Structure 1
Amino acid sequence: MTDLIERVRAGRGDGEAMVEAFRATVVLVPLAPDGGLSAADAGGIRWVFAFTSPAELAAWTLARGGDGDAEQPYLTTLGRRLLTVAPVGVALDVAGGQPMLLPPMRGIVPDELALDA
């Protein structure tokens, strides 16, 4: 997954292939204190945080001022599930070296959830 992201970020990759790979990837989604998914609002979009590895999740926890060694509750799911449950974007590995935003737009989420439909 990270190699596909790197190529897309460099302008040499296939965005559709990267989104398809994300859909098939198991990701870690941190839980908020209220038990919901950790998310933030930016640019009028709700962004759910997702991570491709425990190390990426720990980097995010540290970047937020937390203890990288402390347990961060999370759920494990396929990327596909995040893209099909609500009109939200996914902020992937946002504290890592290859962050990627997957906005809730056609070609990424189902058309009925897409903001540009």
Structure 2
Amino acid sequence: MELTAEIAAIRDGSGDPARLVGEFRRAVLLVPLADGPESGLMSAVSGGIRWIYAFTDEEALARFAAARGEAEAGREWEFLSVLGARLVDAVVPAAGGPAGVVLNVADVDGSMFFPPVAGIVPDASAVDLAAGAVA
């Protein structure tokens, strides 16, 4: 099953979380690059977690651009194609703090968060395994 179908299955209650993470890890995702002094991968911080934006295809990225307003929708977006596994295994640990991936964030019925927890990110980056974390 492809990633977007697995997300739909999870959202309707019939999906398997382990299969969702597997599809995410195998998927080639589009990750937009940030502009300006931030540079690097586009992300946002919410609740103390850095969320890296990723998209399943150019159409999902275009919906995100349109949701950000006319000026954003009209500009050219640079992005990298990255395996989901590379995002969580290499990029998240290099983020310098808790980080996860938000997929297709502008799609009300198709977005999915991959938080910095065990089973998604490396154990050393998992907030639920951090020293002193409450289980």
TM-score category of the 2 structures, normalised to the smaller one: over 0.9
Q: Which runs of 5 or more residues in structure 1 are unaligned?
A: none
The alpha carbon displacement at 1:68 in A equals 3.3
The number of residue pairs the alignment matches comes to: 117
Query: Can you give the 5+ residue segments of structure 2 that lack an aligned partner in the other structure?
Result: 130-135
Identity of aligned residues (%): 45
Could you list the runs of 4 or more consecutive aligned residues of structure 1 that deviate by over 6 angstroms after TM superposition? Answer: none
Which structure shows the higher helix fraction?
Answer: 2
Name 1:77's counterpart in structure 2: 82
- Secondary structure class of the residue paired with 1:36: coil
The TM-score normalised by the length of structure 1 is 0.94
Deviations 1:11-42 (A, max 9, x none): 21001101111100000000001431100011
Tell me the TM-score normalized by structure 2: 0.82
Q: Equivalent residues in 2 for 1:1-117 (5 A)?
A: 1-34=3-36, 35-65=39-69, 66-68=71-73, 70-85=75-90, 86=93, 87-96=98-107, 97-117=109-129
Cα distance, 1:41–1:71 mapped onto 2, change above 3 Å:
same
